[in-house]
Amino acid sequence: MSAVRTYIEDARDAMVADLVAYLEQETPSDDRAALDAGLDWVRGWVAERLGAPDQERIVDGGPHGDIAILDIAASGGAGQVAILCHYDTVWPLGTLAGWPVSIEGDRLTGPGAFDMKSGLVQAVWAIRAARAAGLPLPAIRLVLNGDEEIGSPASRPVIEAEVVDCDAVLVFEASAEGALKTARKGVGIFEVTARGIEGHAGLDPERGVSAIDEIARVVLALHGASDLAAGTSVNVGTLHGGSRSNVTAGTATALVDVRVSDDAERARIDALLAELAPHRDGAAVEVAGGWNRPVMPRSDGTARLFALAESAAEELGTVVREISVGGASDGNFAAALGLPVLDGLGAVGDGAHARHEWISIDGMLERSAIAALVLGRLGSAEPVAQAASAASR
């Protein structure tokens, strides 16, 4: 424990320098060339800090960022752990010109610092610290994807295939007000389109069938399906329709975001969407889209992972909390496979997707030390997935 703490404290300047260099590699989700350059930098940096991976695979992301899978052999430990980190950000190319990386006291700001470039720096330095302290490390599979911020369309099947044989999955997304994430909601993204019949709104109002009238009724039905007590929110975020004020609208479209805490609520929302029907003859209602991420429940295995982190924090003289959040991550995919997942191991700070995005440097060091101890315990203990399964029998 003391060796890990000392190693991390001594590495403060190097960790900050690594994060600054990483932030200066702009990696917007929608710029393939920038993503390619960013991933090349990340792979070179990881190899410099940890040595060449024992095995490396690159999966073509098509129009999105490629997925890199780096396998690091066990050193003195048993089992296999996956670490998930995405290298894309929401910030467009050129953001750094108007918002350069800056440090003021304990705060470091810059595009992508909180979500989630600090997380990868922390994961890599946690492995270094665990090695330096002689902790038994399991085999580690580092999965890096460049399309998380747009829903992981290319990387989802790769992530699912690469983590399925792991004993535990650690996700270095940012914390939630310092808390680790042991449950996440499932996310659905839907497009509802109403079709009507155009007509002259003044000369012949009875011949037209308004798509806007139809979509307005749909919006009321969707918003009425929210049940915050059950953990379900339904939000129509954008609404478009019609062509002119004197024309009965022929089409109208609503974009809908849905968050659910369990599969029963997901089934209820599916049924509601399937039952949407037009109010008037001549109109039609169509639903497209689907569930972007499954629910990540707080499973027994996840609870055991949190207990490891809680114990590690206590040994380091600090405290960690757990929380359930409405946002989703790639950890949702792993949890849907029945794997123990501990999320939010990344930055302590605030401002995801906002211009005030920042991280605590002290928090970066603290969480790196906690992660190092967690990895050491995973390498020396009975695999979490097996232990959780045995406990439930």
- Residue type at 340? P
Higher pLDDT, 347 or 382: 347
Digit-coded pLDDT (tens) for 58-93? 999 999 999 999 999 999 999 999 999 999 999 999
Is 18 one of the annotated active-site residues of the chain? no
Residue 390 has pLDDT above 50, yes or no: no
Digit-coded pLDDT (tens) for 118-140? 999 999 999 999 999 999 999 99
Tell me which residue has tokens 């002119």: 244
Residue 208 token pair: 């037209």
Provide, rounded to the nearest whole percent, the portion of the chain with pLDDT above 90: 95
Q: In whole angstroms, what separates CA 353 from the centre of its chain?
A: 12
Catalytic residue among 18, 26, 148, 214: 148
DSSP 25: S
Peptide bond just before 116 cis, omega within 30 deg: yes
What DSSP letter does each residue of 53-94 carry, written as one string? -SEEEEE--TTS--EEEEEE--BEEEEEEEEEEE--BSSPTT
Residue 386 has pLDDT above 70, yes or no: no
For residues 290 and 215, give the distance between their C-alpha atoms in angstroms, rounded to a whole number: 19
Digit-coded pLDDT (tens) for 177-194? 999 999 999 999 999 999
Exposure string (b/e) for 16-38, b if CB count within 10 Å is 16 or more? bebbbebbebbbbbbbbebbeeb
- What kind of fold does domain 2-184+296-392 have according to CATH? Aminopeptidase (3.40.630)
Q: In whole angstroms, what separates CA 35 from the centre of its chain?
A: 17
Q: How many Cβ atoms from other residues are within 10 Å of residue 315's Cβ?
A: 15
| Confidence label for 2 from pLDDT (cuts 50, 70 and 90) | confident
For residues 331 and 334, give the distance between their C-alpha atoms in angstroms, rounded to a whole number: 5
pLDDT at 236: 98
Residue 15 has pLDDT above 60, yes or no: yes
CATH class in words for 186-293: alpha beta
For residues 185 and 329, give the distance between their C-alpha atoms in angstroms, rounded to a whole number: 9
Residue 393 has pLDDT above 80, yes or no: no
Catalytic residue among 88, 214, 322, 350: 88
Name the residue ranges covered by the structural domains of the chain.
Answer: 2-184+296-392, 186-293
pLDDT at 257: 97
Digit-coded pLDDT (tens) for 276-295? 999 999 999 999 999 999 99
Residue 59 token pair: 């999966």
Mean pLDDT of the chain: 96
Q: What is the mean pLDDT of residues 317-329?
A: 96
For residues 91 and 106, give the distance between their C-alpha atoms in angstroms, rounded to a whole number: 23
- Smallest CA-to-CA distance from 148 within 122, 168, 119 is with 119
Residue 391 has pLDDT above 60, yes or no: no
- Residue type at 165? D
Digit-coded pLDDT (tens) for 182-231? 999 999 999 999 999 999 999 989 899 999 999 999 999 999 999 999 99
For residues 55 and 154, give the distance between their C-alpha atoms in angstroms, rounded to a whole number: 21
Q: In whole angstroms, what separates CA 296 from the centre of its chain?
A: 11
Q: In whole angstroms, what separates CA 113 from the centre of its chain?
A: 14
Digit-coded pLDDT (tens) for 21-46? 999 999 999 999 999 999 999 999 99
| Confidence label for 1 from pLDDT (cuts 50, 70 and 90) | low
Is 286 one of the annotated active-site residues of the chain? no
